[in-house]
Structure 1
Amino acid sequence: MGVEKARIHQPRVLNEEESWALFCRIAFSSEKEAKPHYELEELGKDIVKKCCGLPLAFKTVGGLLKSKTLSTDVWRRIHNNFHDELATREGESSVMASLQLSYDELPTRLKQCLLCFSIYPEDSVIRAEQLVHWWVGEGFVQGKDSRTAIELAFDYLSELISRCLVEVVKHRGFDGRVYTCKMHDLVRDLTIKIAREESFCSFDEHGKQRPSIQSRRLGFTGEEDVKSLNKKSKLRAFLMMNSSPVSHDKTIPLFRVRSLRVLDFSLNKLENIPIHKLLHWIISLQRLSYLNLRGVASLKELPQLIGELRNLQLLVLNGCNNLQKLPSSITNLQKLNVLDLGYPMMRYLPQGLGRLSNLQELSGFTVPSEADRNGCRLCELQWLSKLKVLRVNINEESDIAEEELTVLSHLKQLKVLSINTEGCEKEEIFRKLDGLSPPPHLEELYLRYYRGVTTPMWMNPKSLRDLHYLCIENGDLQFVHPSFEGGKTITWKVEGLCLKFLARLQVEWDLVQSVMPRIRYVEVSHCYMLKSFPCNTEKLGVWRK
């Protein structure tokens, strides 16, 4: 930058006291007292000496030991292995030794998940949802007992973060759920090395992807030579890594591949690829489990043959703003777990959606009008017994029959409900929404563009006894219904609250705190009439207990 040498900051290594303090803060962060007993302290201080004052080494080995029980035998094994790593890897630092040890000590279920990071370009900010869908689509994570594969996959990501192998970039303030993450350059170097050794991906000696017929996974950045791909290719996962224009000539070899299980174009609008040729190729991928066409503007209609993809588990069409309809054959996808349409422009979804008995997440269900005889009615959703996440859109033409008001109460597994009434101003609709019967064990509720004067009558601590997060955004709300306050013996279990763009809402903050005694995280923005709130209500204000 041309500055004087005296103004250049030279990072130093940590001294002995700083090193031990950082190590303890990570390795014992889950304990009530960050003071280990004598034997662990001796082993820990010896490990710290081997880290040579390098913070990344402390973080990774501390994260590794944090995940172990406080057993002297376990710590001694890690200590001895760390010594062996340093002794046998000439020319490598204690950082690389600690990283290698952290990888070696990972449970098998996490190793493949970590190696997936190797295909992302250096310094990439990675969407957690894309990672999770990839892991599920390729079969690295499978549901167990009452936990879905998606839920377990987010747990796996959290575990990699707690071991300091992955860094959080953006997360939800309420509970820390990860939105985006990244990987330190040295950790990425390690994943590339191991991925090459274990044939997880194909890399050259400089860490650049070099796809071949034997390649299993490819992160396409526009620089790779894909001419080697053909019908004999064994590629399982193909993910577009950036938004750079992609020419038809470069991707034509990809259309010869038939072995894909994971196909993700979510970072590219594919403006230069003929959509009909792309779709013709996609419906030939009989093993396909995860398809993401997020934001592909040229997509107007899916072919009827999409119903032949009998192994499809995850279908993401969020942001396809010109998508006008889904084919009726979509109801043949019996293995479908996730159908994400975002906020679709289409008037309705096809009848028969209730046959998708394995569906766990449905985002973008549009309630049809009375005239749309071929549309899936709200009453069909009661057959989706495994549904855990439901996001419903209601517009000016939508029609809800009186007998459909109890449908949601049949969804015993539902944990997340979002109701979006943007563009709807019919009083009749809001009268009926006031009479909904919420599912019994709902944990998260999102209400957007609600035009009612008061909160729905069912939005109370008795009906929503397990709710721990409530988000109300936009709309004309002025007051909370008297039932919102509960009673002397009934209070909310809500811990997180979000109130945004509710310019007319008149409520006392003291009242909110009294009826929500467990509340500990609140986001408020543009709620000018919210009284006595301790943060700025004109801009985004965050309150933490």
Structure 2
Amino acid sequence: MKIPDPVVNVLVQDLIHQLYTESNYILEFQTHFAEMKTQLNHMQSFISDADSIKEKHKTVKTTLIDLRELTYEADDLLIDCLIRADYHTRRVSSSCHHRFSLRQIYFHYQTGKKLSGINNRIAKMRTNLSDYVTPILGRSSDEDAGNRTIRWTSQVYDQSGIVGLTEDNSRIKGWILANNEVLHRVGIVGMGGLGQTTLAQKIFNDTHVIARFEKRIWVSISQTFSELDIMKSILRQVREDDSGSDTGEMLHRIYQLLSHKSYLIVMDDVWSTANGWWDRISNGLPKTPGHSSCIIITSRNEEVMKNMGVVDARIHRPRLLDEEESWSLFCKVAFMATKGICKNLQIEGIGKEIVKKCQGLPLAIKTTGGLLYSKTSFSEWKRICDNFHEKLVTEGNSSVLASLQLSYDELPAHLKHCILCFSIYPEDHEINVEQLVRWWIGEGFVHERRSETATETAYRFLSELIGRCLVEVMRRRSYDGRVYSCKMHDMVRDLTIRIAREEAFTSFDDGGRQIPTMDSRRLGVTNEMKFHSLENNSKIRALLLMDSRLIRLKRNAGLAKIMSLRVLDLSHVKLENIRVYDFWRWISSLKRLSCLNLCDVASLIEVPDSIGKLWNLQILILAECSNLQKLPASITTLHKLIVLDLGNCPALKYLPRGISSLSNLQELYGFKPASLAHTESCHFGELKNFIDLRVLHLDINQESIIEDEELGALADLQKLRVLLINAENCEDVNILEKLNKLTPPPHLEELYFGHYHGEATPDWINPNSLPELQYLCLEYARLVDMSPLFWSSDGGNSWKVEGLCLKFLPRLQVEWSRVQGVMPSLRYLEVSHCYMLQSFPCDVVNLGSWTKIDEESEDGNLVVDTINAQKSVMNN
């Protein structure tokens, strides 16, 4: 199986992007970086061509490997130069005297020498690729065209190989047969090997479906399809001459042949709607009143479905088979000679163990059954069970991974890099999405895009991977589907491991387990790992704690010698056996570090001044450090920070004054205003300087000082979209009065307000002050009613809120009809421990929810559902 090279392509693109956006600030090396931009731009034209032939030509493959290493080296140099330039810019601005030290002169000499060497090597590689690739491509283009493999499916299916599709079949048939629209669309979407085509075949050949439609047409959409091929396929199936090459004339013939008829068209395995081919074909299909026709679309990409006009309520997502269904399907293939019956109890036991490893994926089950069909001895079955993933690839003709490979091949370059990150997580690991997103940003896989922050871009990338059925959602927010955790099917994980190993993205042993080596670039740390092999590693960029809760750090060995990290995630780690001095000495030596996550490190009491040396730091997570008492003033010098998370740190009483100098912050959690007891702390008014802030979490306590002139500070935050206010223990009348007089941000979309001791909501929580609010959460409060302004629409605005959450409000007395009256757009409600609410359409004592079903749903009725409790953002 050919493994494409996503890493080189993405690395070169990313380096070029950084050279255009960043290198102009490094005046002393501008000439070197300008030449590098030119060389890489020229090199890009050869990379894709070289990648297509690298498996057959060792020289090309070696050159691409060398280019990958060189690009990493150049990226490190660029970061080092940017950090040093930033440092000297600050020194110059803080002092009128500036002179070059011997150390700086030496750095300039060495860096210039390295950059010249890199440029020379890139130029030589470009020449080699040009001389070598062009003639090869000229000789092999015709041969490759003749050997190109096209996936093709038909409407014919094997009835004996279908298991677990009864409910799926009934549901989709119900959509089709009960619908009287002139032309409606149904979608079936899922990961490769899940059985979308099999399900479509079953429906296509169903007797009721055959009776309903006068014409049935099956179109298999290969990855190399053309509009002409599609039209010829349709014409052949309606027994019409398919000669000609004029697509317009062919489409007209199709229109005439299907006019005044009810027809069913299956568009199977659609990968893309690029170039508008579908719009042209669908617009040319007849839509005859009185004749109900249907189009069924199968795909691995949910976005493709929606682009083809399938509404969400008509998209079916086939599930994985359960244990009983998996065994039934396996038996039909593996024991075909005995009519699907296993007559050996010993083999049955090991067989069920093997089937569990397929995790309900039909293609994997059938492939494994076929692999074992001719094997009769227990020892052979045991051998395959013990080496399941390896045997499935080598003895199963790679059919499973080859199928999944198609999904990977279709990914754009930026998503290929992102999906390889999943390879470091252990099998069946539930992945914290926030950790994953922070990693992508910290290592530079994701950048800001116009008005979209890096975090927003990262979540969008994840949504694309989910929409392409390569990543499975485990937990998500009910209101808007925001994903909290996810996982990857073992078969997809096997594919990412295979590619990650081939491209030196990270290091694995033959069994697919991560191993630390001197060439490792990324590690997911587990309890079994030993770090001695990392002592000479100068390449590792990301180190994330998986299931380990205890690490050992010796001053002159293992981890302590790593200096190249961009991402360090030690969340939940125990530091009992580590000298705090050695720990922070190591961290402060990581000059390139961009993301540092120390969430829930209970023994962390104080952050030292040395953190100010991390000039490249963009993300700092110290949330839930229950014993953290103090932050150094040097934290205010980390000007690249875009995320600072100090949420749920109860022992931390204040933030240092000058925190507002972090003007690039986009997310700030745990902001604590000044108090009389801590005169060196930051003031509430400093908030107005965070002009790029999108997310803000405020902790207001009994001792907080908010001056009258500071009440409008939030109103200056034009980009703020999410505001969380925790007013725990604020019983003082003066504090309550100040909270009531705040002026909210003008474009707020989500508001979480908790632990409030007033009897009515603050006056500013009203539709006129919050005209763009979409989600409102009120929790852990003594509220009796809402403010009169909450119910008022005198200013002409009504609430645009779509999601409402009311939790632990035992005294609140509100009628459901009144809520609906002022919130006409409300479509999701979540309630818990609100004993005095009246006539609400869900449980108000325990955790209940209500969802307004879209008009596109099956019956348009409202649904009341009780769901599991989710962790509240404001809780504790």
TM-score under structure 1 length normalisation: 0.87
Percent identity between the two aligned chains:
53
SS in 1 for 2:629: coil
Question: Which residue is 2:842 aligned to?
Answer: 535
Residue aligning to 1:76: none
Q: 1:21 to 1:256 in 2, by over 3 A?
A: farther
1:417 CA drift (Å):
0.5
Question: What SS class does the counterpart of residue 849 from structure 2 fall into?
Answer: strand
Render the CA deviation track for 1:431-461: whole Å, top value 9, x for unaligned: 1110000000000001010001111101000
In structure 2, how many angstroms separate the alpha carbons of the residues matched to 1:65 and 1:493? 27
| Counterpart residue number, 2:304 | 66
Output the amino acid matched with 1:392: L
Amino acid at match of 1:258: M
* Superposition pairs of residues 426-441 of structure 1, within 5 angstroms: 426-441=732-747
Q: 1:461 to 1:226 in 2, by over 3 A?
A: same
As a proportion of its length, which structure holds more helix? 2
1:26 aligns to 2:189 (yes or no): yes
* C-alpha distance after superposition, 1:104-145 (max 9, x if no partner): 110111111101010001110111100000000000000011
Q: Which residue of 2 aligns with 1:410?
A: 716
Alignment root-mean-square deviation, CA: 3.1
User: In structure 2, how many angstroms separate the alpha carbons of the residues matched to 1:411 and 1:475?
Assistant: 26
Aligned to 2:447: 142
CA positional deviation for 1:205: 1.4
Q: Which residue of 1 is the match for residue 576 of structure 2?
A: 271
Q: Contact between 2:303 and 2:467, CA under 8 Å: does it hold in 1?
A: no
User: In the alignment, what sits opposite 1:501?
Assistant: 808
Give the secondary-structure state (helix, strand or coil) at the position aligned to 2:187: helix
The Cα of 1:280 is off from its aligned counterpart by 1.1
Deviations 1:121-179 (A, max 9, x none): 11101111000000000000000111100011011111111111111110000000000
Q: Give the drift of 1:413.
A: 0.5
Matches within 5 A, 1:75-474: 91-92=396-397, 94-248=399-553, 252-344=557-649, 345-474=651-780
Alignment-mate amino acid for residue 707 of structure 2: A
Matched residue, 2:331: none
The alpha-carbon distance between structure 1 residues 60 and 250, as it changes in their structure 2 partners (threshold 3 A), is farther
- Structure 1 residues 329 and 480 mapped into 2: Cα distance closer, same or farther (>3 Å)? same
Q: Deviations over 1:285-335 (max 9, x none)?
A: 000000000111111111101111000000000011111111000010010
Letter matched to residue 498 of structure 1: C
Moved more, 267-276 or 281-290: 267-276
Q: How much has 1:381 moved relative to structure 2?
A: 1.2
Q: Distance in 2 between matches of 1:251 and 1:445?
A: 49
CA drift at 1:483: 0.6
Equivalent AA in structure 1 for residue 613 of structure 2: E
Specify whether residues 437 and 509 from structure 1 end up closer, same or farther in structure 2 by C-alpha distance, changes over 3 A only.
same
- Determine helix, strand or coil for the equivalent of 2:438: helix
**Take 1:310 and 1:148, find their aligned partners in 2: how far apart are those partners?**
20
| Match of residue 4 from structure 1 | none
Q: For the structure 1 residues 64 and 172, does the alpha-carbon distance in structure 2 shift closer, same or farther, using more than 3 Å as the test?
A: closer
In structure 1, the partner of 2:112 is: none
Give structure 2 stretches of 5+ with no counterpart. Answer: 1-160, 174-185, 191-195, 197-202, 205-214, 223-265, 270-296, 310-366, 368-392, 853-876
Q: Give how far 1:89 is off.
A: 9.3
Kept in 2, the 8 Å contact 1:166–1:181? The answer is yes
Change (3 A) 1:243 1:334: same
Note the C-alpha offset of 1:60.
10
| Superposition deviation, residue 67 in structure 1 | 6.9
Cα shift readout 1:385-433 (whole Å, capped 9, x = no counterpart): 1011000001111111111100000011100001101122111101111
Contact 2:472–2:486, Cα closer than 8 Å, also in 1: yes
Q: Secondary structure at the match of 1:541?
A: strand
8 A Cα contact 2:300 2:407, kept in partner: no
CA gap of 1:42–1:105, structure 2 versus 1, over 3 A, is: closer
Q: Secondary structure at the match of 2:585?
A: helix
Q: Relative to structure 1, is the Cα distance of residues 92 and 20 closer, same or farther in structure 2, using a 3 angstrom cutoff?
A: farther
Q: Retained in 2: the 8 A contact 1:60–1:99?
A: no
Distance 2:406 2:575 in 1: 41
Deviation, 1:269, is 3.1
Name the CA distance, whole Å, in 2 between partners of 1:251 and 1:167.
42
Residue aligning to 2:797: 490
1:490-534 deviation line (CA, Å, top 9, x unaligned) = 210000010000000111111111100000011100101111112
Taking a change above 3 Å as real, the CA distance of residues 269 and 517 of structure 1, as seen in their structure-2 partners, is farther
Does the 8 Å contact 1:60/1:98 carry over to 2? no
Contact 1:416 1:443 in 2 (8 A): yes
Give me the whole-angstrom Cα distance separating, in 2, the residues matched to 1:339 and 1:123: 30
Distance 2:765 2:442 in 1: 36
Q: Which residue of 2 aligns with 1:523?
A: 830
- Aligned partners of 1:406 and 1:436 also within 8 Å: yes
CA distance in 1, matches of 2:660, 2:424: 38
Does 1:513 pair with 2:820? Answer: yes
Counterpart for residue 5 of structure 1 = none
2 CA distance for matches of 1:122 and 1:115? 14
Cα gap change, 1:91 to 1:496, in 2 (>3 Å) = same
Instruction: Specify the SS of the correspondent of 1:470.
Output: strand
- Deviation digits for residues 221-259 of structure 1, max 9, x if unmatched? 021232111254310000010144334469940110000
After alignment, is 339-348 or 179-188 more displaced? 339-348
Q: For residues 46 and 351 of structure 1, what CA distance do their matches in structure 2 show?
A: 62
Q: Are residues 392 and 40 of structure 1, via their aligned partners in 2, closer, same or farther at CA, if it must alter by over 3 Å?
A: farther
Larger radius of gyration: 2
Runs of 4+ in 1 over 6 A off after TM superposition: 37-40
Partner of 1:111: helix, strand, or coil? helix
Letter in 2 for 1:126: I
Paired residue type of 2:568: L
1:208, CA displacement in angstroms? 1.1
1:326-361 CA-partner distances (Å, limit 9, x unpaired)? 100001001000000112221110011111110000
**Which residue pairs with 1:81 in the alignment?**
none
Alignment partner of 2:534: what SS? coil
Separation in 1, partners of 2:806, 2:712: 27
